[in-house]
Structure 1
């Protein structure tokens, strides 16, 4: 249902793409980032409204969940609390909450890239039964219209339009467009001619990142900016969850503490979670099995655990994973090969990543 809805939403928002958006303020653009797309920048009133919506638990069906509960500001707008996101009534979802830093620059949204419009993206979680659980667009908008504070905020941000489906998406997108991360020591060293902004070890790590590690073939940097993504999808060999086919479910009892539970033993009558095959779920192209979007790396030291399933807790584990050539499977990307990094090179690479 959500896939069909997504097609409608994209068409709906494309029609409004040039309406009501302010030009980005170049003076506010952090060093190392490209210009902010004008259609997503929004006005100050839009941004304030979007921020209010982002942190508001009443947007969920049971009044318990907000966007910010999976995308926590102090945790790089990701979540360190659990490997997999927590949804309606405490349910473990299928995937890890990605960081929202620089999300305005993403071509594809979600780990499987099922959305391409930031203003349309929000409706996926809002309407997913196991996420924020709203049963329909109309009742959700009616709740906002009945709120005196929201009525005034929407009228200020969208004069003459007020509370509408497009306004909700555009407001949250405008707020998310402010979640920029750049002007790091790396940016000052590479784009600001401050060579000593990075230590000798971090420079060594950058060299490993570009040359021996080959990380930059997917986590790209350009001449005057660095988003650290090729805006594409790759099967890097992260386990493709044979455990989900076993008739059991994995229940996360605490961060990093997981127990496998047999459904029949607990008396639950529901089926186990379906296997997660990544981008294939969207394209139905067999070549896309277990392929996921290349994440950006800004603030990566704060956005653990890593990978689409949150299976790796530290940057050091991520480096070890790629050093051994990922996890073999039928669709492994040909770029993923054993690296043969030395201990010194691994330490340097970790230091570089933490400097972003």
Structure 2
């Protein structure tokens, strides 16, 4: 078991180093597992799917709520492919691989589709507030730049993670003007911006969004100032979970628990105080104007129906 887990961890990291996103890497490992399956029964193949998914979820990378949502999408797509109705294992494997490749390709195309659907929401001259680093948000901003829209982006640091600096670097490559601000300054800035645009780690069944810590703070400020909050998110991140509050999130998504103490505090002081330093927070649906997805623009109230469609969607039917 330990050897298998190590192999999965190494494979995940290899795909990430090659430029794949975590979700694509997880799907590719599932495809590889099916391709390499040599036992003789369809029931054994089904067990292999479950075992591989569990191994991925047991790795550091694969334990995230995003990867869990992605694996749920893969398992649903495999189940709807009709592999269990095939007369032999070889044909069943082909069904699952075809469905998995369709899921993987849809993930690869998702950012371009999100940018296309969201294009008209970002106007020329828009001042945009964001936090953390989201490929979907970057795609929207890149599309705006490509069509010569003059935009200004404000990036809240989203402490304790360092992902916002990655966003700033990527914006510089796009030639987008950006201003960095501490999370504590969001309330002072929010009246000056036109829209809050963030990504998501996952979307819950009730339309709530899980994202980097600080997102809920932006949502509160946007609501108070009457500014719209848009969430750019891929449909594979919709997951059948229903946390009611921040404490529920820390139970359902262990990776949301606390990071190490803040680096720039003296060591002696660290030993004498407690820290509350979560990585993720939960933004309730009533704070969200619209979800910008690869299937179009959705209000948070439509998430439950979209999840049903996700479960019963035929990516590939043999």
TM-score (norm 2): 0.30
Write 1 or 2 for the structure with the bigger share of strand: 2
TM-score (norm 1): 0.28
Write 1 or 2 for the structure with the bigger share of helix: 2
